[in-house]
């Protein structure tokens, strides 16, 4: 076990690449002050609704002509921005393998993982880090991550860490079919008949998140409240729990209970913008856990960085609405997201017509 100078926790966690996993494994009894969240950002039981939850949609044997399933998906996207899918055809073996590979990556020594930090990585497409954007945050988040931007199988073979490369690619390949079907249903709900797949899913990013056991979970957050900047996100979580979703038009949160074999789907800002606000990109956050380590694996399906996104013309024609969002270059939108801390301000306001 390394001995660390507690006066320089940020250096140990962020710069030396030990992450919060390294901190947790030292056996700290008390949460360092850098991780203490302001009261309004902590997750407390009095803001949690216990008798409600996001829809669970069975998509077994489903195709685009199955009106009922399409309606359930579109309704969930409008009312919750979040749902879980079960019986989706991605095998348990693929899901278990990517979880095992996530543990394998994070188990490596800090020097190995830190080869992929922003400072050391030879590419922007592979990034190991901790918290969200440590330089901009007032309080750090209790989470380490590896983020992999997909360009091609060849690039992944050359650049992605071998501890999890094959399993991450396999999970991405399998989820592609599910994503296509979900987007097809969502476009049908908007009366959009023809749309180039690449506008909706031209780029993909897979993250693996590690939330170690935390000494004072009530004072910390795993991930602060945010909405994703993707078109859609497909998230695999383990059996620990801790993901909370904001209930629409309220200040209350609902827990997303882990369901063995299920995947959590959420609408991201890009689809909220393209649907002119009909589908909702909802705030969510992750609670730190005092007893267990937790992992999750989101795949963010996005437009291409070079795409200009805005409300789709079919949506405006069909509804007769005025656009509430302007046309934005997707990479400008994403850079705005990554440069600010999770501060509770809607990222999507960046694209709003004033």
Ligand X SMILES: COc1cc(/C=C/C(=O)SCCNC(=O)CCNC(=O)[C@H](O)C(C)(C)COP(=O)(O)OP(=O)(O)OC[C@H]2O[C@@H](n3cnc4c(N)ncnc43)[C@H](O)[C@@H]2OP(=O)(O)O)ccc1O
Binding-site ranges for Fe ion (CB under 5 A)? 228
Please, what is the end-to-end C-alpha distance for the chain in angstroms? 54
Question: Number of C-alpha atoms within 13 angstroms, CB side, residue 69?
Answer: 20
> Residue 331 interacts with ligand X (CB under 6 A)?
yes
What residue 286 binds from ligand X, Fe ion, ligand AKG, none (CB within 5 to 8 A, per partner kind)?
ligand AKG
**For residues 228 and 307, which CB has a smaller minimum distance to Fe ion in the complex?**
228
CA distance 25 to 212: 8
> Residue 37 interacts with ligand AKG (CB under 6 A)?
no
x-or-dash pattern for ligand AKG, window 206-225, by CB under 6 A?
Answer: -x-x-------------x--
> Residue 230 interacts with ligand AKG (CB under 6 A)?
no
Among residues 91, 85, 82, the alpha carbon closest in space to that of 69 is found at 85
x-or-dash pattern for ligand X, window 231-270, by CB under 6 A?
Answer: -------------------------------------x--
CA distance 160 to 238: 23
Q: Where are the alpha helices (DSSP H) in the chain?
A: 9-10, 19-25, 67-79, 92-107, 110-113, 153-159, 165-189, 197-201, 269-274, 313-319, 330-339
Place of tokens 């780029």: 203
Instruction: Please choose, out of 26-34, 97-105, 332-340, 344-352, the segment that lies near ligand X by the rule CB under 6 A.
Output: 332-340
The vertex-256 CA angle with 252 and 259, nearest 5°, equals: 165
> Residue 21 interacts with ligand AKG (CB under 6 A)?
no
Q: What is the closest distance, in whole angstroms, from the C-beta atom of residue 305 to ligand X in the complex?
A: 3
Among residues 320, 63, 318, the alpha carbon closest in space to that of 191 is found at 318
What residue 352 binds from ligand X, Fe ion, ligand AKG, none (CB within 5 to 8 A, per partner kind)?
none
**Complete edge-to-edge strand list for the sheet that includes strand 243-246:** 48-49, 253-255, 243-246, 284-286, 223-226
Tell which one of 41, 228, 238, 283 touches ligand X (CB under 6 A): 228
Tokens in use for 79?
């009312």
x-or-dash pattern for ligand X, window 94-133, by CB under 6 A?
Answer: ------------------------x-----x--x----xx
SS3 content of the chain, % helix, strand, coil (to 5): 35, 20, 45
Instruction: Please choose, out of 115-123, 150-158, 235-243, 315-323, the segment that lies near ligand AKG by the rule CB under 6 A.
Output: 235-243
- Residues contacting residue 102 through CB under 8 Å, at least 6 positions apart: 164, 208, 210, 295, 297
Tell which one of 296, 312, 330, 342 touches ligand AKG (CB under 6 A): 296
Tell which one of 148, 163, 286, 309 touches ligand AKG (CB under 6 A): 286
Interface residues toward ligand AKG, by CB under 6 A: 207, 209, 223, 228, 235, 237, 243, 284, 286, 296, 298
Interface residues toward ligand X, by CB under 6 A: 118, 124, 127, 132-133, 145, 147, 149, 203, 205, 207, 223, 226, 228-230, 268, 300, 302, 305, 331, 334-335, 338-339
């Amino acid at each position: 076990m390394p001995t660390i100078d507690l006066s320089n926790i940020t250096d140990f966690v962020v710069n030396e690449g030990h992450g919060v996993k390294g901190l947790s494994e030292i056996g700290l009894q008390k949460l360092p002050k850098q991780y203490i969240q302001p009261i309004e950002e902590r997750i407390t039981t009095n803001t949690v609704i216990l008798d409600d939850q996001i829809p669970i949609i069975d998509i077994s044997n489903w195709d685009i002509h199955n009106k009922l399933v399409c309606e359930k998906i579109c309704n969930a996207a409008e009312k919750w921005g979040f749902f879980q899918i079960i019986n989706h055809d991605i095998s348990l073996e693929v899901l278990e393998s990517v979880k095992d590979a996530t543990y394998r990556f994070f188990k490596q020594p800090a020097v190995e993982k830190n080869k992929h930090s922003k400072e050391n990585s030879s590419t922007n497409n592979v990034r190991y880090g901790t918290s969200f954007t440590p330089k901009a945050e007032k309080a750090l988040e209790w989470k380490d991550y590896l983020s992999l931007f997909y360009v091609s199988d060849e690039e992944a073979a050359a650049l992605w860490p071998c501890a999890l490369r094959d399993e991450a690619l396999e999970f991405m390949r399998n989820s592609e079919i599910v994503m296509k079907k979900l987007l097809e249903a969502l476009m049908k709900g908007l009366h959009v008949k023809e749309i180039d797949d690449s506008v909706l899913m031209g780029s993909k990013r897979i993250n693996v998140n590690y939330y170690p056991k935390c000494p004072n979970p009530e004072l910390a957050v795993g991930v602060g409240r945010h909405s994703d900047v993707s078109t859609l996100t497909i998230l695999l979580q383990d059996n620990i729990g801790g993901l909370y979703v904001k209930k629409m038009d309220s200040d209350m949160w609902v827990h997303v209970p882990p369901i063995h074999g299920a995947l959590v789907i959420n609408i991201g800002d890009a689809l909220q913008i393209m649907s002119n606000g009909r589908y909702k990109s909802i705030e969510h956050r992750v609670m730190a856990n005092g007893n267990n380590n937790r992992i999750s694996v989101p795949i963010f399906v996005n437009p291409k960085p070079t795409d200009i996104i805005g409300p789709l013309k079919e949506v405006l024609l069909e509804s007769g609405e005025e656009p509430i969002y302007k046309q934005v270059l997707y990479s400008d939108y994403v850079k705005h997201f990554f440069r600010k801390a999770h501060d509770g301000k809607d990222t999507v306001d960046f694209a709003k017509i004033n």
